[in-house]
Amino acid sequence: MARNMNSNFYVMLGIGANALWGAAFIVPYALHDFPSELITIFRYFVYGVTSIAVLLLLGLGNVRISFPIFMAANVISFCGNVGYYLFLTFGIKYSGFVYPALIIGLLPVSVILFGACQGRRQSLLGLLPGIGLIVFGIVLINFLSVNDASGLTLDADHVRGIVFSLMALSLLTIYCIANARFLKSNIGISSLRWAGLLGICALLQSLLLTLFAYVFVGHDMSVFTAYSADRLIAFMLGVVFLGVFVSYVAMWLWNVSSRHISSIVAGRVLCLETIFALAYGYMLDARMPHSFELLGICLIVLGGYLVQWCAGRAGLEV
């Protein structure tokens, strides 16, 4: 009984992390008039500063980190933070929140497929029914969904948004696998310290992205003069929320959770990120999902659970 209670506690921590991560889709959607690079830069600047403050306050910053661990942290942080979110914000900017949320919702499946392709290719056949449901769900949303009186078509912007979202999914898949393996093989590094180290790496990378945005895109502080005071306040509140809660708090919760639950259970929990993101988005738009959207969402979620169930029976832990 105590073991089940402990397991449920760590699952609840994972659900809390996904509820926060779901908001990551909505902030750039609400701040669509701001450049994606600036949202990413300021989010991870706040995340990095928060990480340094917490590490100093708790006395966790006086531990020597080896160069290989620091480099691993940079790669993992880029895949799960700056790189992932930059592509995600571009995806949301071009195609709205529904497509990116559903594509990122394929994360549990992409992680399991990675494990299947790595060492147990014969298990791929058992995953095909679930994958088929997911593909059919995406087809329903992309081609059969109705938007007001006209059909929803895949114009150039939507295609661009889907491509960016797929790039974000690829980076996030690498992050999930690499981060889980690192945590399980380096038990001497606490979840709180690891979240802080990833935040510091994200801060350094956000500064490099700032330089890139200035040199190649031409963004500087003068870009903010084009916005009203209300929009600037919304921007600051949005990036602070992203940096403190969606990044630092959610990362810490997930690190603690993923150390104590299996990858199959973690995959089921990760499906909730999509549900939270879509729910927040529909609330922001003050509308209910269209019938084909709702059917497609149900098929994708069902397909995700079917893939995870089959993976669990085949022993495809990653």
* Average pLDDT rounded to a whole number, residues 157-164: 88
The verdict on pTM exceeding 0.85 is: no
pLDDT of residue 179: 87
Q: Which two tokens stand for residue 298?
A: 């149900």
Max mean pLDDT range (78-87, 215-224, 284-293, 307-316): 78-87
Q: What is the DSSP annotation of 31-64?
A: TTTS-HHHHHHHHHHHHHHHHHHHHHHTT-S-S-
Lowest-pLDDT range, 33-47, 140-154, 209-223, 272-286?
140-154
Q: What is the distance between the alpha carbons of residues 212 and 216, in angstroms, rounded to a whole number? A: 6
User: Which residues partner with 147 through β-bridges?
Assistant: 150
Question: What band does 225 get if pLDDT is binned at 50, 70 and 90?
Answer: confident
CA 14 to chain centre: 13
Specify which residues 146 forms β-bridges with. Answer: 151
- Percent of all residues in the chain with a pLDDT value above 90, rounded to a whole number: 20
| pLDDT value of position 148 | 41
Structure-model confidence comparison of residues 217 and 160, the more confident one: 160
- Between CA 278 and CA 275 the distance in angstroms is 5
Nearest to 104 by CA among 260, 275, 242: 275
Average per-residue pLDDT for the chain: 80
Q: Which residues of 174-209 are buried (b: 16+ CB within 10 A; e: fewer)?
A: bbbbebbeebeeeeebbbbbbbbbbbbbbbebbeeb
Task: Report pLDDT for 168.
Answer: 94
* Alpha-carbon distances of 30 from 36, 89, 169, 238, rounded to whole Å: 12, 11, 21, 9
CB burial class (10 A; 0-12, 13-18, 19+) of residue 222?
A: exposed
Q: How does pLDDT run across 25-76, given as a tens digit for each residue?
A: 888 888 888 888 888 889 999 999 998 898 888 776 666 778 889 999 999 9
**Nearest to residue 258, comparing CAs of 169, 193, 176, 175?**
176
Each residue's pLDDT tens digit, 246-292:
999 998 898 888 777 776 677 678 778 878 887 888 888 788 877 87
150 three-state secondary structure: strand
Max CA pair span of the chain: 61
